[in-house]
Amino acid sequence: MQNNAYDFGLVGLGVMGRNFILNVADNNYKAFGYDLDPEKVSALIDEGGDVGRVNASGDISTFVNALSLPRKIMLLVPAGKIVDNVIESLLPYLSANDIIIDGGNSFFTDTDRREAYLKSKGINFFGAGVSGGAEGARNGPSIMPGGSRKAYKEVQPIFEAVAAKFNNEPCVAYMGPKSAGNYVKMVHNGIEYGLMQLTAEFYDLLQKSGQLNNAELHKVYSEWNKGRLQSFLVEISAQIFEKEDPFGQGMLVDKILDKAKQKGTGKWTSQNAMDIGIPIPTIDIAVSMREISALKPERVLAAKKYEQGSIDLPEKQKLITNAEKALYFAFIITYAQGMHQLKAASDEYGYELSLAEIAKIWRAGCIIRAALLEGIANAFEEDKELTNLLLSPAFEEKIKDTVAAARELVAFAANNGIPMPGLFNSLSYFDAYTSARLPLNLIQAQRDYFGSHTYERIDKEGIFHTDWS
């Protein structure tokens, strides 16, 4: 094997890694993979052999020495300690100015720590969020790189080649310094949690109160996907409804246990939003609903104790029409919350994020791609100081057109015992955010009463404390 012959190295040849490296090779770059599992190494060599630009090894020295300088090595391994372990295993073989890219879902503070550590050793390191799943990795993901702009420029041609394209524009852009890339991907995943929860809630609503069967649900979601709700998650939901059970009669979705797992990025998004003081209740409840879903035995017991009555059956077409409007409303609110968090984090951490650019690279390749993102990109392009989509004139009209349907369905769901916390929280967030005065003055009075925490007044400057007894 000729040393220094390969343009790009990738550690971790699982489904994502294997597909990503084949994507690199398809775009006329020579790529070399590394994995400790000999079966994964052999599988990549077999699959990439016809391309002629792919090789792999289970020997780390062979892997590193095969790469051209400065070496560009991407890690697609699970977040956490394994990333640090891989870095330590690579270090003895690297040269000054080599580049390590973390393409996994690492927590952003870990990225900052690793960047500082490797900088002290003369090695460039940056995080790059990758969205799109296995299919995106193979055919074009959305990529969110941050960190050193100079280091990114070394990899930029490769990333632009492999990324998804929207109107011939690559869905990759430099996010900002430090851990900006991993942070943006984290919030992307938080938005993803919210949108998934909402699509599931409306499936439940249409199934229970509209009595739609899977064929009808497929038709409704397919129609929605042709309009303003066009999105990856609505599209795949439509496909899921028509998948037959391979092990028996009926449709597969009806046989799947209602316990949704999670890997933690949604929780990180919620926790950090609280840290920086940004409300994202739709995303918060999406995380909580996965936790509630895990309590299956308790839910079964509780359901027996609190049996619900019959559910009203509204006129089917009116229900579908209102559902489309209300889901669109809640989608807007979810994106608004996520973008608000990104805006605040940019100021808090010095990321210098372009929210318009972020929305643009999410238009294709990623899990939260949706027709809505074109308007979101335009809103932040037109007003670079915009903090919340609800303050955008374009989205003001969209909200006014759909909020009444959201209110009607919230009332209907509450009266009929149909859990729709994503929609409920979206509407409550909207009502609170658009209230010039909230009842939190009473909370401040309570805090001052029992803890002497003081308060401000609306009629004069200063900080006040009262003896309430």
Chunked in runs of 10, what are the mean pLDDT values of the chain (469 residues)? 78 94 94 94 82 87 96 95 96 96 95 97 96 93 96 97 97 98 97 98 97 98 98 98 94 94 86 98 98 96 91 93 99 99 98 98 97 98 96 97 98 97 99 98 96 96 96
Domains of the chain, earliest start first: 8-178 (3.40.50.720), 185-433 (1.10.1040.10), 439-469 (1.20.5.320)
What integer pLDDT is reported at residue 38 of this predicted model?
Answer: 93
Cα–Cα distance measured from residue 308 to residue 416, given in angstroms and rounded to the nearest whole number: 8
What integer pLDDT is reported at residue 4 of this predicted model?
Answer: 62
Q: What is the pTM of this model?
A: 0.95
Cα–Cα distance measured from residue 375 to residue 449, given in angstroms and rounded to the nearest whole number: 47
Compute, in degrees rounded to 10, the torsion defined by CA atoms 377, 382, 384, 390.
-70
Cα–Cα distance measured from residue 336 to residue 389, given in angstroms and rounded to the nearest whole number: 5
Cα–Cα distance measured from residue 457 to residue 450, given in angstroms and rounded to the nearest whole number: 18
What integer pLDDT is reported at residue 358 of this predicted model?
Answer: 98
Strand partners, 57: 34
Cα–Cα distance measured from residue 9 to residue 77, given in angstroms and rounded to the nearest whole number: 13
What integer pLDDT is reported at residue 307 of this predicted model?
Answer: 86
What integer pLDDT is reported at residue 77 of this predicted model?
Answer: 94
Question: What token pair was written down for 146?
Answer: 């941050």
Half-sphere exposure in the Cβ direction for 284 (13 Å, CA): 15
Please check whether residue 144 is in contact with residue 125, taking contact to mean a CB–CB distance below 8 angstroms.
no
What integer pLDDT is reported at residue 50 of this predicted model?
Answer: 63
Instruction: Measure CA of the first residue to CA of the last residue in the chain; give whole Å.
Output: 84
Cα–Cα distance measured from residue 404 to residue 279, given in angstroms and rounded to the nearest whole number: 23
Q: What is the CA radius of gyration of the chain?
A: 25
What integer pLDDT is reported at residue 46 of this predicted model?
Answer: 84
- The catalytic site residues sit at 185, 192
